[in-house]
Structure 1
Amino acid sequence: MGKMVIAFFIIFNIWNLNDNSLTQSEEKIFFYLDVDELPQFNKGNVFEYIYNNIEYPDQIDIQGKVIVSFIINKEGKVEDVKLEKKLFPQCDEQIQKIFYSMPPWIPGKKGGVKVNTLLLVPINFSIQ
């Protein structure tokens, strides 16, 4: 089997939120388009981190896209990982595992204050 290539892109203008924020247990969650500073992965390139940590099932010849939504909280921790578009159970489980095991991020900011930020990332699985 060839080398797996994973392409990553941040999706813009996917959701139109009425209030431009969500509320979860009294804490506002800002959509990534509504923050002044996006969260930053603290350990280099987040996409390299995902690529280096994924275990693509050898016996499966699946190609397609997984869309992941997740929150970077005010402390920089990954929370509430959801697969908005699933591909195959083993691929989906791998992605969730990787996101929950990520080291802390630098939180997003709005008005100079750290905020909870909702991000969306599509991940393309392909065999080459």
Structure 2
Amino acid sequence: MTHSLRFFSFMALLGFLTTGHSQAQTGPYASTQARHTAVVNAPAAAPVPPMVPAAPTISPDSVFINPEVRPQFVGGDKAFTAYLAKSIRYPQVALQRRVSGRVFVNFILDAKGKVVDAHVISGPGSGLNDEALRLVWMMPPWEPARSNGQPVRVACTVPIAFTADR
């Protein structure tokens, strides 16, 4: 009989420990007493530093469309307009035909801010498309786009306006 009494006491103690453990882990619905008991009985652990997610690696071949920091012509929009006004050579054919309009040029800026690819999306022709491409290829380097603090390649589109009434 003593043997079965010990066994029964052991099982009751085991049940009590299991119940206390499960209550301590039920989160906000656990009783206040159970949560405090779990904290008091827990061994002191060394503080764990917060995990900082590693910046994802960016492939050098990736081309961003909407990076965190957009590229910028050095000096801003006013400097870009001044560059165009100073550098533009209105084609004679377009002047003779009084052709004007906008040429939309799409280009890729590399991580150093240099144009590496450019093509005309739309334009009136008559030499204006070629002149717009020349202007884009001759641009000085831009301040590059950035993603996760790293300079990245980015796709850009700019309109270049030509007015025959110069």
Scaled by the length of structure 2, the TM-score of the pair is: 0.56
Deviations 1:27-50, CA, capped at 9 Å, x for gaps: 00001xx21111111255112211
User: Which of 29, 33, 41 is matched with 2:73 structurally?
Assistant: 41
Task: Tell me which residue corresponds to 1:93.
Answer: 130
Return the offset for 1:60.
Answer: 3.2
Measured after TM superposition, the shift of residue 52 of structure 1 is: 1.3
Bigger proportion of residues as strand = 1
The residue aligned with 1:61 is: 98
Alignment of 1:67-78 (within 5 A): 67-78=104-115
SS in 2 for 1:117: strand
The superposition leaves residues 82-124 of structure 1 with CA deviations (integer Å, 9 ceiling, x where unpaired) of 1000211411111111111111111000111100011111223
Q: Which runs of 5 or more residues in structure 1 are unaligned?
A: 1-24
Name the structure where helix makes up a greater proportion of residues: 2
Percent sequence identity is 30
Q: Which residue of structure 2 aligns with residue 12 of structure 1? A: none
Q: How many residues align?
A: 102
Deviates more, 1:70-79 or 1:54-63: 54-63
Q: CA RMSD in A?
A: 1.9
Specify which structure has the bigger relative contact order, considering alpha-carbon pairs within 8 angstroms and separated by 6 or more residues.
Answer: 1
Query: Which whole-Å CA distance do the structure 2 matches of 1:61 and 1:127 have between them?
Result: 5
Which residue pairs with 2:34 in the alignment? none
